[in-house]
Structure 1
Amino acid sequence: MLVLLAVNPSDYEQKYPEDPYGKEFEPEARVWKVYMDEAEVFDMELTEGWKDTVDVLLVFAGLFSAIVATLIGVSVQALQPDYLQVTVAILAELVAIQREMASGNSAAGVTPSSLSVDTLPAPTTGERWVNGLWFTSLAFALCTALIATIVKQWIQKYRAFTFGSTMDQVLHRQFRYMGLNSWRVPLVVDTLPSLIHISLFLFLAGLALFLVPL
């Protein structure tokens, strides 16, 4: 009767043969292989959570930025002089002058238009606040998308395959892990949701001010 013994992935004494005496720290020693197996599990759990967070934020930031940019395209017109009103007023004045002259009357009797480039109403405080909040919200959303993209590149570089002996792979992996901590990548990933929350809060505040006069 043939009995098949399954190898327990966590039983490294069973998985990897014992090193010869005096070669416990050779480039292909068991200690390095055990380290790489444990590091693989640790890195998988660490980076998969980051990837899920970053992917969700990238999608949300992209859609949210498109919505904010569309509304900014409408609201920013309130900050610019409405030259169309001036043009309409001038045309109406010219028509009135032509009618007076056609009737044989003096054009001096036509009341000049009070609307000109210099007399256009300035943007209200509310309009300035709405645009300021929305522009700031868009900036936060774009910064979130940019940082999330950079984090995704960091993750890809961190998980990239390395060549060489098992000991060399251990050294490369440890070097990359120390780099992640030096650049505060865990803190950066944890901060990304806060940035998008601030962006959403600013947008809602601007939307409330935008809807007040309606």
Structure 2
Amino acid sequence: MSGGRGRPSTFFGIRKGQAGVRGGATDYTKRYRKDLFGKEISSNGRFWLTYVDEALIFDEEMVEIYNDDINVLLVFAGLFSAVVSAFVIQSAQSLQPDNTAVSASLLIELVGYQRAASDTSSIPLSPFYPTISFSPSTTDVWVNSLWFISLTLSLITALVAVLTKQWLHQYISVISDISPRSQGRIRQCRYMGLKKWQVPVIIGFLPILLHISLFLFFFGLCIYLFAL
């Protein structure tokens, strides 16, 4: 049982006033037969039947909301990761020597050797001589670093979203071959685990992670365009 300012009070994970939403607050008296005296909270008692029924309504609504949010994030994260990957593939080439430019420079140097052989003149050293190490520009390093981090965060968001969907699927799964009391206890254990591991907080943090990824990508894009 919990409550507080700004948050609805709950009883065993079900909001107060939500019970009996199918047909009124006392609808359970019509759906389930009356218990024998002293058997009100037995394993098949009306109390547990009512709890399992109302908990299922609450859980289905909660999981549906979470799944809708996660599905939107998965679609956006997938499309965004594809876009960032295309930029990363292109920009990563700036971190390595341009093989085409190296081949052209060596070809020019070869022509210079042939000319020097005829008039014994000196041959200028190629800028791509093997002893000279290649060093990418600061702009290229910054742009690639930002885009790689952005892609990593986007993929992490998608991974956590998939794991959360699997968690919610296991949470909502119903075990029908046991008594209502056992179903109620299993459901309550799952609900407490959901709160203990802060699953709602994790789901709420995923958009923030994706926003950070977007910011890093656009920041790197601004640096890339400014350097053109």
Equivalent residue letter for 2:121: G
Query: Structure 2 CA distance, aligned partners of 1:95 and 1:134?
Result: 41
Q: Deviations over 1:120-153 (max 9, x none)?
A: 6522211111111101101100100000000000
Q: Which protein has greater RCO, CA pairs closer than 8 Å, 6+ apart?
A: 1
Other-structure match for 1:136 = 149
Q: Deviations over 1:10-47 (max 9, x none)?
A: 51112222111011011110000111121112101211
Other-structure match for 1:205 = 219
Q: Pick one of 112, 119, 132 that aligns with 2:124.
A: 112
Contact 2:153 2:210 in 1 (8 A): yes
- Measured on the aligned residues, the alpha-carbon RMSD in Å equals 1.8
Other-structure match for 2:4 = none
- The answer to which structure has the higher helix fraction is 1
Query: Structure 1 CA distance, aligned partners of 2:158 and 2:74?
Result: 5
Equivalent residue letter for 1:189: I
Shift of 1:48: 0.5
Q: How does 1:51-200 map to 2 (within 5 A)?
A: 51-99=67-115, 101=117, 105-106=118-119, 108-115=120-127, 116-119=129-132, 122-162=135-175, 163-200=177-214
Flag as ranges the 4+ runs of structure 1 deviating above 4 A: none
Equivalent residue letter for 1:202: L
State the secondary structure of the residue aligned to 2:42. coil
Identity across the alignment (%): 44
Kindly indicate whether residue 23 of structure 2 is the aligned counterpart of residue 8 of structure 1: yes
Q: Deviations over 1:141-167 (max 9, x none)?
A: 010000000000001100111130111
Other-structure match for 2:51 = 35
TM-score (norm 2): 0.83
Other-structure match for 2:33 = 17
Q: Give ranges in structure 2 of 5+ residues lacking alignment.
A: 1-21
TM-score (norm 1): 0.89
How many residues of Structure 1 are paired with residues of Structure 2 in the alignment?
204
Query: Structure 1 CA distance, aligned partners of 2:165 and 2:225?
Result: 38
Shift of 1:99: 4.4
Query: Structure 2 CA distance, aligned partners of 1:145 and 1:187?
Result: 16
